[in-house]
Amino acid sequence: MLRRLLLAVGLVLAGVGFAVAVQPNLAQIVRLPPLPTFVVAVLAGVFALAGAVARRNTEFRDETDDEDRNDALETRFEPPRPGEDIDARLREGAGTLRKGADDAQFSDRLRDVTVQALVDARGLAPEAAERQLDEGTWTDDRTAAAFFADDVDSPTADVVGAIVSADPVYERQAEHVVRELRRIAGLQGGEH
Amino acid sequence: MVSEETHRWRGAVALSLFALAAGAATRVPGVLVLGVFGIAVAGYAQLFTAPDPQLSVERSLSDDDPETGDRVDVTLTVTNEGSLLPDLRIVDGVPGTLAVVEGSPRLATALRAEKSASVTYTVEVVRGDHDFGAVDVVARDAAGSHETRTSVVADTALACVPDLPRLESFPLREQTVQRVGRLPTSTGGSGVEFHATREYRPGDPLSRVDWKRLARDGELATIQFREERAASAVVVVDTRREAHVADDEGTNAVEYGVEAAGGVASALLESGDQVGVASLGPYWAWLAPGLGREHRARLEELLARDRGFSVAAPDRRFLGGLVFRRLRKHLPDDAQVVFCSPLVDDDAADYVRRLEASGHPVTVVSPDVTGADTLGQQFSRIERAVRIRALRTAGVRVIDWRAGDSLALAVADAERGWSA
């Protein structure tokens, strides 16, 4: 009740102030006491500062709370596409030339699959397939061969192309390996 | 119910007071008026308290018994049983398994006392039980300085139990129970398909005597037909987190797995075999092999409604070793396994090998949901192809089913490959 009363008084005073500001002659009619304007200015300034400090100390709701809340409201589950984890890792590592821990994991998977594909398609023993990978002799594609073999370098044109297009060399080599694998595994014509 | 201040006007008050101070110091009426106006607005905002929404909610569906793929209109009606709500926002609790294909389950409105507001949206129905959740409500006062958040319970359930998909036949491996059925065995005996002839033994039925041979050579021989026995099979659907992957249309591989399980079960039941189903995932589901109309109905119900076969997000940890042991324990000794899995991870292939090694002949039905648009998708496709080849090399039959194509065609293609 007191809150509303004070509010009503405040609103009336604000109304009077507004009216006097628009028509200063009203001050004489309602016989407001003469008050130096600098006192009003100082008081308003102090209250403004107090308001600003109060605002600074206010704990506003975290925007992420709303995002979390929205996620909780819309629970529709959309499963990922197979291989989305690899694409996400490559996106995160885009632009970097260094191999990260995730890249190493992807490299291991790529190596395992390549060995298995060579064993299946060419009847090699796993050790022989590993050796071909290390020596870079498993494919005629030098870019793909360079992915596993330390002694094989990517063709110069590929390195220049990677720099010009800002594609990481690692990703370019991986693309070539996958292209070769598709051929070997029979998903693109095939060797068998 | 949670009520709190939004502090929306806190900065406005400070700014207005600064304007007031500046106006008074410079004696510029315009600035002073601006300050007074700001203070008045802030005062107005303080006039209100947090709203206390008293709402009743009613939800209606345009179809209570829809088929898979049907579109159902959902109408949500909110009635204000309290005082005026100048700013009311609601979001309906759409089940996570249903997609809203038209309209929006959200509504923002002002609602006077005793008045109602409605929102209608359309969902596409998929297999399973779908429970609508509580309606989420946010109510604010006219100035937006106070907010109340609450939820209103409105239980509505939508169930869709499709018939088992039709599949003419499904080839099982050799290994059967001692019961007459349709599975050809390598043992000679009674049946319809010729197997061999042997020397006549007293007691052999006259209908099986090889009369042509008797006329030609004068020898009495008995014709043996390929003995046909019934099989006992358990269709295991891979519902692990790894199996929840989508094809290019967004369909979950688990959905394809359940469709395949239904088709396989239907075909085997038709041919007199005993069929059971199991879910290999975080939610265990099991139906022992059986026969008959009642068993078929139970199987239909389980595949459609059990959480174990749901396409909802897996929200529980999968204890692989434990679940696999449980599956082994439940499998009858003579049961074959039909494993429905997208085979997008090595563990899936390992489970197949372990089942095969434990004496249960396995046939894999693998919906192919891999793509070729990105490097990751291409690599995943290659990994899967290599896995399938390794399984086939180990003697496991794999039906590679291109998702979206007919399962019957995939089965027929695979059969041609096996008999070639």
- Taking only the tens place, the pLDDT of each residue in B300-314 is 999 999 999 999 888
Residues 338-397 of B with CB under 8 A from A: 342, 344, 369-371, 374-386, 389-390, 393
Same domain? For B241 and B386 the reply is: yes
Q: Judging by DSSP bridges, how do beta strands B55-61 and B106-111 pair with one another?
A: unpaired
Same domain? For B108 and B30 the reply is: no
pLDDT score at B178: 46
**Residue A67 in domain:** no
**Residue A159 in domain:** yes
Residue of B94, B386, B391 for testing the chain A interface, max A β-carbons within 10 Å: B386
Q: Which residues contact B209 (CB under 8 A, 6 or more apart)?
A: B200, B220, B221, B222, B223
Candidates A40, A48, A113; nearest CB to B383: A113
Same domain? For B329 and B388 the reply is: yes
Q: What percent of chain A has pLDDT over 90?
A: 17
Residues 80-99 of B with CB under 8 A from A: 91, 93-99
B37 touches chain A (CB under 8 A): yes
**Residue B178 in domain:** no
Residues 178-207 of B with CB under 8 A from A: none
Instruction: List the structure tokens of A65.
Output: 């709370």
Same domain? For B240 and B364 the reply is: yes
Over range B28-57, report the average pLDDT: 83
Same domain? For B281 and B314 the reply is: yes
Same domain? For A93 and A160 the reply is: yes
Instruction: List the structure tokens of B375.
Output: 């490097």
Q: Which residue in chain A has the smallest CA separation from B149?
A: A69
Same domain? For A17 and A91 the reply is: no
CB atoms within 10 A of CB B275: 28
**Residue B170 in domain:** no
Same domain? For A96 and A152 the reply is: yes
Residue of B6, B36, B150 for testing the chain A interface, max A β-carbons within 10 Å: B36
pLDDT score at A97: 44
Show which of B202, B228, B254 is a domain's final residue: B228
Q: Which residue in chain A has the smallest CA separation from B133?
A: A73
**Residue B177 in domain:** no
Tell me the average pLDDT of chain B. Answer: 88
Burial letters for A144-156: b for 16+ Cβ neighbours within 10 Å, e otherwise?
Answer: bbbbbbeebebee
Residue of B131, B239, B382 for testing the chain A interface, max A β-carbons within 10 Å: B382
In angstroms, how far apart are the furthest CA atoms of chain B?
Answer: 136
B20 touches chain A (CB under 8 A): yes
Instruction: List the structure tokens of A130.
Output: 């590993």
**Residue A66 in domain:** no
**Residue B180 in domain:** no
Its domain, for residue A152, covers 84-184
Q: What is the pLDDT of residues B57-116, one digit of tens each?
A: 999 999 988 998 899 999 999 999 999 999 999 999 999 889 899 999 999 999 999 999
Same domain? For B310 and B385 the reply is: yes
pLDDT score at B41: 79
Same domain? For B75 and B7 the reply is: no
B134 touches chain A (CB under 8 A): no
B96-100, B194-198, B253-257: least confidently modelled range: B194-198
pLDDT score at A192: 43
Same domain? For B277 and B381 the reply is: yes
Same domain? For A176 and A88 the reply is: yes
Phi, psi of B168 (to 5 degrees): -55, -50
Q: Which residue in chain A has the smallest CA separation from B97?
A: A76
Same domain? For B271 and B378 the reply is: yes
Q: What percent of chain A has pLDDT over 70?
A: 83
Mean pLDDT comparison of A25-39, A153-167, B232-246, highest-scoring range: B232-246
Judged on CB neighbours under 10 Å (0-12, 13-18, 19+), B398 is buried
Phi, psi of B212 (to 5 degrees): -65, -40
Instruction: List the structure tokens of B227.
Output: 């003995």
Domain count, chain B: 4
Q: What is the pLDDT of residues B262-274, one digit of tens each?
A: 999 999 999 889 9
Check which CATH number belongs to the domain holding B77 and give it.
2.60.40.10
**Residue A63 in domain:** no
Same domain? For B238 and B129 the reply is: no
**Residue A150 in domain:** yes
Residues 262-291 of B with CB under 8 A from A: none
Tell me the average pLDDT of chain A. Answer: 80
Same domain? For B192 and B150 the reply is: no
Mean pLDDT comparison of A62-71, A153-162, B14-23, B193-202, highest-scoring range: B14-23
pLDDT score at A95: 47
pLDDT score at B343: 96
Over range A57-78, report the average pLDDT: 77
**Residue A78 in domain:** no
B240 touches chain A (CB under 8 A): no
Over range A93-120, report the average pLDDT: 74
Residue of A6, A58, A66, A73 for testing the chain B interface, max B β-carbons within 10 Å: A73
Q: Residues B248, B307: contact at Cβ < 8 Å?
A: no
**Residue B166 in domain:** no
pLDDT score at B89: 94
Same domain? For A126 and A34 the reply is: no
Contact A81 B252 (CB under 8 A): no
- How far are the Cα atoms of A28, A46, B314, B392 from residue A183, in angstroms, in the given order? 97, 78, 36, 20
Same domain? For A35 and A98 the reply is: no
Same domain? For A35 and A100 the reply is: no
**Residue B375 in domain:** yes
Domain count, chain A: 2
Instruction: List the structure tokens of B78.
Output: 């909110």
**Residue B165 in domain:** no
Contact A83 B27 (CB under 8 A): no
Over range A140-156, report the average pLDDT: 84
Q: Whole-angstrom Cα distance, residue B380 to residue B340?
A: 18
Q: What is the pLDDT of residues B100-159, one digit of tens each?
A: 999 999 999 999 999 999 999 999 999 999 999 999 999 998 888 889 999 999 889 999
Contact B17 A44 (CB under 8 A): yes
Phi, psi of A112 (to 5 degrees): -60, -45
Q: Whole-angstrom Cα distance, residue B234 to residue B347?
A: 19
Mean pLDDT comparison of A156-160, B194-198, B298-302, highest-scoring range: B298-302
pLDDT score of A75 more than 80: no
Same domain? For A12 and A101 the reply is: no
Its domain, for residue B37, covers 2-46
pLDDT score of A166 more than 70: no
Instruction: List the structure tokens of A138.
Output: 């498993």
Same domain? For B270 and B412 the reply is: yes
Q: What is the pLDDT of residues B337-389, one digit of tens each?
A: 999 999 999 999 999 999 999 999 999 999 999 999 999 999 999 999 999 99
pTM: 0.76
Over range A92-120, report the average pLDDT: 74
B3 touches chain A (CB under 8 A): no
Over range B275-290, report the average pLDDT: 96
Q: Which is more confidently placed, B158 or B37?
A: B158
SS3 B143: coil
**Residue A16 in domain:** yes
**Residue B219 in domain:** yes
Contact B246 A80 (CB under 8 A): yes
